[in-house]
Amino acid sequence: MLCDNCKKREATIHITKYIDDKKTELYLCEKCARETGHLNDNDGFTFQNLITGILNPDFNDLNKIKESTMECNNCGLTYEKFKRNGKMGCTECYSKFENRLNPLMKKIHGSESHIGKVPQSEKNHLDVKKDIEELQAKMEKVIEDENFERAAQLRDEICELEKKIGSE
């Protein structure tokens, strides 16, 4: 595909912009991207650049003032510096900047909490616990519906699973 700007060179950069719910796509060669300001000499796609870009949306002046005064009591990292480099200074930073990080985590991961990986030795145990929780929720629902026979069956399944956990 040829560059949308010069129509001579091969387009190597794809830029997608959303303005007022309108999608605009632009395909540029590296030279035209640099000339139009879409690519700088020190640009590179890194996770740090991605986080920094997400952290720097256009806020109003009040938010900028609040952010400039946010500082970790433990390491002294300011939220402004975190936005620039995309790295926390210490574990306390997560608590200090929590109100800003939670929406960011939800945006990136789809959830505000990170569960992480589970060691294989613990996986079965945790799977059984999850099954028990799901069965307990089902049991509460069928009790509300006054389906006591089904509730008794679920209770028995829960007891079997609890025995299984106890024997591990």
Contact present, 78 and 70 (Cβ < 8 Å): yes
Q: What is the pLDDT along the chain (168 residues), one digit of tens a residue?
A: 899 999 999 998 888 877 777 888 889 888 888 887 777 655 455 555 555 555 555 444 334 434 556 788 899 988 888 877 778 889 888 888 888 877 777 777 667 666 667 777 777 888 888 899 999 999 999 999 999 999 999 999 999 998 887 765
Structure tokens at 107: 């945006």
Give the residue extent of every domain in the chain. Answer: 1-43, 47-109, 120-167
Structure tokens at 81: 């510096």
Contact present, 2 and 9 (Cβ < 8 Å): yes
Q: Three-state SS for 2?
A: strand
Whole-number Å distance between alpha carbons of 135 and 50: 41
Whole-number Å distance between alpha carbons of 68 and 14: 33
Where do the DSSP E strands lie in 20-110?
22-28
Contact present, 131 and 163 (Cβ < 8 Å): no
